[in-house]
Amino acid sequence: MKRIFTLLFTAFSVLASAQNVPADRPGKTMNATTAQAGLWILQTGTDFGTLVNTQNGFSFDSWSFPLDVRYGITDKLEVMVSGSASFAARQDADAGIEYGVLSYAGYLRYNLFDGTNFGSFAFFGGYQHLSYEGGIAAADNIIAKVLYRLPMGDKFQFATNLGYTQTTVNRLDYSVEEGGSFEYTASFSYLLKPTFGLYLETYGSQGAPTSAWVDAGIFWLPNPDVQWDVTLGSGGVSNFNQYYVSIGGCFQLGTPR
């Protein structure tokens, strides 16, 4: 009996001390911990929901397919390349694909400190390009954020991102529109067990555009290199409200030290 207890305790200790994949999913709050040097992290999923135009009363079915590829250059510095394809189909007499948006981006993330009594802190920044269907417009975003994560005991964790995005929109009629917005996220997660947890989050922006959102979901780690997640969210920007579901995962590739 003592031997069985010792084996179980050892197995639990290894699981609890394992460095799980430092996932950005679920939600919009990115992790302040970078990928370990030489390791790859793939983050992907499918977002789908309903987009309602509150001014004109019609709605869209929307889909989005994001993909992030992260690589640890050092234990403190990582590079991330991102892309996504988004579509919306109008649901009325004029039903059909209303718009499509393709985006690609490149970022750097630098971890200033990690796993201390003060939590984890990182700088994040990069460039994003968005191309709207038919070339009607294109947008260029310069993004800068700070990322913070604070464990609160063995069960709870708080995380937040604060940043600014400068946007330049070039339209088909050659008009140019510039603006910027301050962005925020705040997320609380709770571990029911070392491999399964819940989270609640709010996020949004102030400026151009101004938006506010809330989401919640679950995440499950069958092993330290894999995380699956499901999220329900709701919010709005300008004259649009959206309700969505996000399903996806994160996968760490390579041999952790």
Q: With 70 as the cut, is the pLDDT of residue 117 above it?
A: yes
33 vs 241, higher pLDDT: 33
In a domain? residue 96? yes
Helix or strand or coil: residue 8?
A: helix
52 vs 244, higher pLDDT: 244
In a domain? residue 7? no
Q: How far is CA 10 from CA 6, 14, 18, in A?
A: 6, 6, 12
**DSSP letter, residue 7:** H
pLDDT for residue 204: 94
Give the pLDDT mean for 38-63.
88
95 vs 109, higher pLDDT: 109
Q: With 80 as the cut, is the pLDDT of residue 39 above it?
A: yes
Tens digit of each residue's pLDDT (9 = 90 or more) over 51-94: 787 777 778 888 999 999 999 999 999 999 999 999 888 776 55
57 vs 116, higher pLDDT: 116
Q: With 90 as the cut, is the pLDDT of residue 248 above it?
A: yes
Least confident of 37-46, 84-93, 152-161: 84-93
Q: With 90 as the cut, is the pLDDT of residue 134 above it?
A: no
- CATH assignment of the domain containing 173: 2.40.128.130
In a domain? residue 13? no
- Cβ proximity of 155 and 121 under 8 Å: no
pLDDT for residue 135: 60
Token pair of 85 as six digits: 């394809």
In a domain? residue 49? yes
145 vs 178, higher pLDDT: 145
- Cβ proximity of 19 and 34 under 8 Å: no
Domain hosting 215: range is: 30-253
In a domain? residue 1? no
In a domain? residue 22? no
153 vs 22, higher pLDDT: 22
In a domain? residue 137? yes
What total number of domains does the chain contain? 1
pTM: 0.86
In a domain? residue 77? yes
Mean of the per-residue pLDDT values for the chain? 86
Return d(Cα 54, Cα 256) in angstroms, integer: 49
Q: With 70 as the cut, is the pLDDT of residue 195 above it?
A: yes
